Amino acid sequence: MENSQPHALGLTDRRPAALGDFRVLPDDLICDILEYLHHRDVARLACVSSVMYILCNEEPLWMSLCLSKVNGPLQYKGSWKKTALDLEHVPYECDKTGRKPLYFDGFNSLFLYRRLYRCYTTLDGFAFDDGNVERKKDLTLEDFSRDYDGKKPVLLTGLADAWPARHTWTFDQLLQKYGDTAFKISQRSARKVSMKFKDYVSYLKIQHDEDPLYIFDHKFGEVAPALLKDYSVPCLFQEDFFDVLDGDKRPPFRWLIIGPQRSGASWHVDPALTSAWNTLLVGRKSWGTWGACLALNAGRWSECLSEICAFHNLPHPAEDEKLPVGTGSNPVYLFSDCVVKIFVEEGLERSLYGLGTELEFYNLLCKVNSPLKNHMPDVLESGIIYLENGIYRIIPWDAKTVPDVIARCNLIPEKLNADICPFGVWSKKQFNYRKAGMPTNETIGSPECRRIWPYLITKRCKGKIYAELRDTISLEGALNLASFLGEQLRNLHLLPQPPLSISTFLDIEQEIDMPLTNGFMEAVQDKSEVPAEWNIFIRTLFRKKKDASSRLSKWGDPIPTTLIEKVDEYLPDDLATFLHIFEDENGLNKVGKLCSWIHSDIMDDNIHMEPCGANSCLIENTKDNGLVTNGSVNGNGISAGTKSWRPSHILDFSDLSIGDPIYDIIPIYLDVFRGDARLLKQLLESYKLPLVSAESQKKSVKGGDKFGQLSYHAMCYCILHDENVLGAIFSIWDELKTAKTWEEVEQVVWGELNNYKGFPLDPKI
């Protein structure tokens, strides 16, 4: 095998030399050819060169090799390569020797990048158009036959409300009843593949397949007859022409379908040219194409990158720098000493608030000369790129004004307060309040707005993100990281807030006092008790609380069903009690918490590490992260073989908000520390700020004793979080999947917070 050491800083494309005569073939064709080989030949070919090693270790290849071999029950072994080798009774030597997969710089592939993106993307960040299909309830058979049958599609509502399946077809209950029952699995070959339901659920939890397997069984009524009692044929579809056929001649006519995100069938014609009625009990299914993803638009973002570089006189990216890094929904490019981020996730309005808040925050850091400024990348340029009449145009933007191209989109109120940033943090909080509790499939913006993208250029950091180095960091290094994060959280939470003018607050109050869509007003504690800067924070939590149980049900496993049923009982009626409101010696109500800037997204891919020590050459990658581009997010390609690393920067401040500092501890503890209480304790010792004031700790706070427990605050915030942090909790603490109460989960996960007494609150703060 050729040497895995990279060339010096000027990396060259290793593809031509590594592929030889095969270099004339595109990557997708080579991958197709590999699927025709025996798995032993694939293993031998992986030893030929670095690029063949990459192509021959692709999971989709081994998935295809495995499914072409299996015939009968399948048990997934954690990866398709391991599963395929297990079928051949070949030991997976990498597990025994501890040898880690090799990593090679100097190779990039748009085909592999798109496939990687599709394997790891989630659908939550995309817009789903509700479409123009009519929705009807209580439709009569006569009306259905006259207006719809064979004429046009219709979405019928309410027909399945009384089905037992509506409540019994959950993973927990299906596992209990049918865990050892084998169901047929969809896949592309002609072989018959089945999996026991318990094995399929295990696969579903950990898979990251581009085209995930899903249960697609037309014999489920024969292998599990009791399932037929859980539903009934709707009244509109009682007529069954297949009844005239003998049982053994009747073609498939009913199917059980269960699958994860991204699973489904391509364009097809139903069996025997028939039409089917479909009922969706859990999740979301699109009959058509779903929103364009980052990978499929990589060409467009590359065009935008070229225009941005030309406008700002930046070096032109090399070929291996023209692909975005990572798997996030916003394309990020690394080249030269720059990082270019194009904001596209969830539409223009969300993007403007992301960039606007980040610029407002950066200006504040410079103004007050905060130490945190030394630990976030310098902002070099910012602007807006848009497509007009087929031509890309660019305008610089500092977020302090409203450019004409944005004003035409009607994204801001007509009455704009001159004393606040139009897309700054307070306006963003109003935006988040409006969006809280709204359907995620809301159509985003007009066609014109979808051709406008804000962008940010920052200075590139030296080193790598923590996610790439986690496996090489010692306990001492992890404790140093925890201390660093505690210090930077302190710097963050001590920053002053932007001014919240009276007129701004009145605008917030006027909007908040409008009835919700279901016709009732928000019942929150007396406004006089809740300071203006806290009011919208509490109101937003209130909106999230209203759909908490349905949101948790949508997230599903591994959140226990028994806990989902108890979530409304666990959450407080009055969310203002999170503020630790108490009476001072004069009988006046005071809030016992600091209302602070919060990052809310400090995770292992948003922490940057720089090398310290003598050795800085590449030995091999620290883990198989599947990236097909060189370098790391905001990194300059320093090798993972460096002796030691120290934290240097925190990245990505576009999700900034203002609220309870406890929010910042959640992603750090669950994602960065992976639930290690030692690291949480170290962070708090370096933080040196009270999470509640010393005065309120001595007083009786409103809401009862449980509100004196910081663990309760943190647990409620996890439940009300925009992201599925509960999924992380029940994955880290596997024993909690059998928990009977939220109090049990709270103490196991967040009990360490109750040991933190904090430090005396500086009167100057």
358, 654 Cβ separation under 8 angstroms: yes
* Sequence letter at residue 340: V
User: 322-331, 482-491, 735-744 — which is least confidently predicted?
Assistant: 322-331
Please write the tens of the pLDDT for every residue from 1-18. 333 334 434 567 899 999
For the ranges 69-78, 304-313, 461-470, the lowest mean pLDDT is seen at 69-78
The C-alpha atoms of residue 672 and residue 674 are separated, in whole angstroms, by 6
Residue 273 has pLDDT above 70, yes or no: no
Q: Sorting pLDDT into bands at 50, 70 and 90, what band is 630?
A: very low
Lowest mean pLDDT among 44-58, 156-170, 181-195, 385-399: 181-195
Kindly report, residue by residue over 31-46, the tens digit of the pLDDT: 999 999 998 899 999 9
Q: Please, which pLDDT band fits residue 264 given cuts at 50, 70 and 90?
A: confident
Residue 705's alpha-carbon distances to 64, 304, 674, 711, in angstroms, are 57, 55, 29, 12
Q: Per-residue pLDDT for 488 more than 90?
A: yes
Tell me: the pLDDT tens digits for 402-419?
Answer: 888 888 887 765 555 555
CA distance 8 to 638: 11
Q: Which of 203-217, 608-622, 683-697 has the highest mean pLDDT?
A: 203-217
d(CA 28, CA 41): 19
pLDDT at residue 628 in the model: 35
**Lowest mean pLDDT, pick from 368-377, 390-399, 502-511:** 502-511
Whether residue 558 has a cis bond before it, omega within 30° of 0: yes
The pLDDT value recorded for residue 271 is 66
Task: Give the pLDDT score at 93.
Answer: 60
Greater pLDDT, 614 or 158:
158
Pick the closest to residue 233 from 279, 283, 268 (CA basis).
279
CA-CA distance, 666 to 643, in Å (whole number)? 30
Tell which residue, 734, 751, 731, 609, has the closest CA to residue 680.
751
List the domains of the chain with CATH numbers. Answer: 58-100+163-277 (2.60.120.650), 295-459 (no CATH), 545-594+694-759 (no CATH)
Does position 152 have pLDDT exceeding 50, yes or no? yes
CB 268 within 8 A of CB 234: no
The residue ranking higher by pLDDT, 1 or 316, is: 316
- pLDDT for residue 283: 79
pTM score, two decimals?
Answer: 0.67
In whole angstroms, give the CA distance from residue 522 to residue 520: 7
When the pLDDT of each residue in the chain is averaged and rounded to a whole number, the result is 81
d(C-alpha 121, C-alpha 358), whole Å: 25
**Burial (CB count within 10 angstroms: exposed 0-12, middle 13-18, buried 19+), residue 291:** middle
Mean pLDDT of the 341-360 span:
91
- Residue 199: pLDDT band by 50, 70, 90 thresholds? very high
Residues whose CB falls within 8 Å of the CB of residue 536, separated by 6 or more in sequence, listed in order: 429, 430, 433, 508, 512
Q: How many CA atoms lie within 13 A of 417 on its CB side?
A: 17
Task: Count CB atoms within 10 A of the CB of residue 421.
Answer: 20
Question: Is residue 187 predicted with pLDDT exceeding 80?
Answer: no
Share of the chain above pLDDT 90, in %: 37
547-581 tens-digit pLDDT: 888 888 877 778 888 999 999 999 998 888 888 87
H/E element, 395: strand 391-396
Write the pLDDT tens digit of every residue in 668-710: 999 999 999 999 999 999 999 988 876 766 665 555 567 778 9
Tell me, what's the pLDDT at 126?
Answer: 55
